[in-house]
Chains A and B, each alone.
Chain A
Amino acid sequence: GESVGLHLPTLSVQEGDNSIINCAYSNSASDYFIWYKQESGKGPQFIIDIRSNMDKRQGQRVTVLLNKTVKHLSLQIAATQPGDSAVYFCAENDYKLSFGAGTTVTVRA
């Protein structure tokens, strides 16, 4: 079936640098995407979302970009901090969520 997925399983980033996490999706009819952060031993936590009628959305230190032409999403985290170390998932929302496999972000001090 249709699904979303992430390009890289791991990302190591220096504290203070910007992080970019990528995600590709296959369902061209998808119209709502969400990024989640999951820390060890916890459930996924909502970070930011975007609808298909937008190509960019900004939050606090995070920006999501959507390229519908190539069916690609990215999450940018500015000035990455140790507390940003976690697994990040993109998900397609159609009342239920379809998740990709996740990218584990490790922040180096």
Chain B
Amino acid sequence: DTGVSQDPRHKITKRGQNVTFRCDPISEHNRLYWYRQTLGQGPEFLTYFQNEAQLEKSRLLSDRFSAERPKGSFSTLEIQRTEQGDSAMYLCASSDGQIYGYTFGSGTRLTVV
């Protein structure tokens, strides 16, 4: 296991389309996080899972966003009816509960045209 994997790395979509991103965390990590990062800004927290339970959702996560972690392993983040303002880097991170184990993936860059 070489780290947190995210797929795809880049996604270009037309406004109004739905997109889904996948995150594969480090296998022994029970915590999984999604963050969003816009150009020139630090990452912003979106949501957090412990095993399969979604424990917190940010106000940034509108009704068009949904995240799942069905078996407590990989996670998906879906954005419905994409808007240009959704264009950003979507980062996934996983943790074993100890901060040294908090590892980010390389992200999925979404461009909505």
Q: Which residues of A contact B (CB under 8 A)?
A: 9, 32, 34, 41-46, 49, 89, 91, 93, 95-102
CA distance A73 to B91 in the complex (A): 25
Q: Any chain A CB within 8 A of the CB of B107?
A: yes
- CB of A43 within 8 A of CB of B104, answer yes
Q: How many Å from the CB of A100 to the closest CB on chain B? A: 5
Segment at the A interface, from B14-22, B41-49, B61-69, B71-79:
B41-49
- Residues from chain A with a CB closer than 8 A to the CB of B41 are 99, 101-102
Tally of contact residues, B, Cβ under 8 A: 21
CA distance A45 to B93 in the complex (A): 11
Chain A residue at minimum C-beta to C-beta distance from B35: A97
- Residues from chain B with a CB closer than 8 A to the CB of A93 are 99, 102
Q: How many Å from the CB of A26 to the closest CB on chain B? A: 15
CA distance A102 to B105 in the complex (A): 18
CA distance A46 to B103 in the complex (A): 8
- CB of A89 within 8 A of CB of B42, answer yes
- CB of A43 within 8 A of CB of B40, answer no
Contacts A101-B40, A102-B40 given; indicate if A46 touches B102 (C-beta within 8 A): yes
CA distance A79 to B93 in the complex (A): 30
The residue among B4, B33, B35, B102 with the most chain A CB atoms within 10 A of its own CB is B102
Q: Any chain A CB within 8 A of the CB of B51?
A: no
Q: How many Å from the CB of B55 to the closest CB on chain A? A: 9
- CB of A49 within 8 A of CB of B99, answer yes
- Residues from chain B with a CB closer than 8 A to the CB of A45 are 104
